[in-house]
Structure 1
């Protein structure tokens, strides 16, 4: 498959992959990994790909004057949905409560679809809303491995705090670069996140959020930083988050 074809089929939202995978891995590893986790991960990624193309179809259908622009997303939607259905059926038969988890995620996906239809996918609220179901995969994966919901809320909160902060931080580095308001908002948010971590998440995660606060304050002061460098930094922090979660709650 050519690189152009890959770009048409796979989302260009590179930061989303860490948000999809890290909470899932944390939940799986904090519980007892089973073969069902592999199927759940496959279904989760297929669902993401299908929803992404649905959102692009909505965006282009409503905003593009080219009727073919939206049509090129119908084939990926059909393919990813067709692959998703047997995975989803098998998972629900094995663990019927997964259907309730999907229902809980639906309102957040609906909001994301609305923002796509309005061609406002980069809006701050849209990014923050997308974080919620992604971090919700941590308790889902933990419960699938035999864990208890009481053990899920603190690691899920840590993921939510980090990835919501990433939405703010990345905006200060790219789309809102030079905005004093966004820099203050990002710095203030990360200071609060550090306080929450120190109060309820333990020393490993407090140290992690101290690093996040440092990068939120220091890196925007450097001026223009390449997008690839920003992305690489967030990838490293995602690995550190997973490590801190396992050290704190494993």
Structure 2
């Protein structure tokens, strides 16, 4: 079990299984990242493990999270595939196991007891939820025996998730922000470009620094190129002033990068 949870993590969505993912993970760890995020649905867990093995960093110093796919949320499937993910990642236990989406085979009466049992049995150390709407989050927290460690959702200056961020603070879990630079849509926002110029930074770095300025928020940018990996990591040293933060706070447009008909927020 790793006690290391670095607020700036390394996302691996769309990093193809094989050398691209392995090299990306290895470079990220060598740059300084200690929190790596993957998922069954990314089909790259084995490559993430290979990237970790390519470095000299002790496994105990890394925090590795994965997610159950939407077809694997019945009790039996959740238990079996979580163990398979653990084996593909080459770890004794998963630092954090999420439900990726509360759709398809998600059933609170089956999925949530499976998560509790996976923690009790030492397959996973912590429970995470992802893409839950506030009512679904409340139901899950009430049903689970173990605490929710993290709730992962899209979050960036154009989709600020105030309600879910406030909930994370109230309930003492992390809001893990995926797509934290909105697939670089932030580069098209005048206010972010101006703040970036003021600090000799990039709009992407400003977006990450803004997220890091918020309580209980942990962004997990994905980057394939070595330059972007390093640029994102350098955002940790960017200190926005109060005026910058207030200006960014006013940008919330409700713009989602990830959206589809079956998504929880599109329920009738």
What's the TM-score, normalizing by structure 1? Answer: 0.27
Larger relative contact order (CA 8 Å, sep ≥ 6): 1
| Structure with the higher helix share, 1 or 2 | 1
What's the TM-score, normalizing by structure 2? Answer: 0.26
Q: Between Structure 1 and Structure 2, whose CA radius of gyration is higher?
A: 1
